[in-house]
Amino acid sequence: MQACYFSSSKEGITVGEQINGVSFVASRDSVAQPDIDQLLEINTTWVSIMPYAFAPNHKGDLYYNNQRQWWGESQAGVAHTISLIHANGLKVMLKPQVWMRNGAYTGKFTTSSESEWELFEANYRNYILEFANLADSMKVELFCIGTEWEAFIQQRPAYWSGLIKEIRTIYKGRLTYAANWDEFTGTPFWDQLDFIGIDAYFPLSDLEEPEMVELVKAWSPHIKRIEKFSTVLNKPVLFTEYGYRSIPYTAKEPWNASKSEAISLQAQATAYEALYASAWNKPWMAGGFVWKWYHHHYKSGGESDSGFTPQNKPVEGVIRDQYFKNN
């Protein structure tokens, strides 16, 4: 079954297309063709590129595109990576996002004064518009305006509406926002965007290695909620991030990146299988982006790795099988 979710065509996106995506982690050095070959092996059709900015405090400061960052986060590195991905016939979601000091959750970000808010908003605007300009100049197919900014959006909704309008004057492609799994129904500006973007880390099971049937059952209320929301807004849904770590209890708090010595390759693979079985072929489902994928495939992941990447683990085959089904 193929999902058909676009009500109109737009340059770079095909009506009825399913997005087989991966989130491509910025690299320390230049990306080359062998790094893309591994994406083609699993039938990736879309790549999310994420040039991070760094917020060192809650006082409004924001740093990006500077010499202290990795090559893949610089404007030059992003442009090179986009060119290489496009040269291979793949499409791009450009997804600038912010890393808070000590890995603090962006959804709780706030400031203590109006002047600090205004400084951060000005810095964030400049950051986003710089990459929106790049996206437009390189004909990037999809642009993500932000990731998991729940408190920022609740406290400053007019800023976000204005920012989207300004992006639209620069960038001609489609837009989304990456809402956290528990945030998306309260995001007020979906009517201004083309996709309902969800970082799909829904909690599913407290068991160490739950069976497929249990996980599919646990997905059911989430699927009904997403479907109802999509129907009301008449918008397709995109999983702007989805994935599980290769650890026991991976479906309990899928967002949790705390260090773990324990490994469960089976729990990771089963969690992916349940997500695909539950969500992937719904008529409102546009597809999504695996979290996450590193450029040096041959030395990434592996069966002793407890992280999110599916590389060189059994789940890579699960993703490959699903992505070859889609298109």
Predicted pLDDT of residue 17: 78
Determine the Cα–Cα distance for residues 140 and 173; give it in Å rounded to an integer: 7
Could you report the per-residue pLDDT of 250-262, keeping only the tens digit for each? Answer: 999 999 999 889 9
Predicted pLDDT of residue 16: 61
Determine the Cα–Cα distance for residues 296 and 51; give it in Å rounded to an integer: 18
Predicted pLDDT of residue 4: 41
Could you report the per-residue pLDDT of 20-50, keeping only the tens digit for each? Answer: 999 999 999 899 999 999 999 999 999 999 9
How many residues are listed for the chain in this entry? 327
Domains of the chain: 19-326 (3.20.20.80)
Cβ neighbours of residue 263 closer than 8 Å, sequence gap 6 or more: 246, 247, 303, 304, 305, 306
Which parts of the chain register pLDDT below 50?
Answer: 1-13, 15
Predicted pLDDT of residue 5: 41
Give the global pTM.
0.94
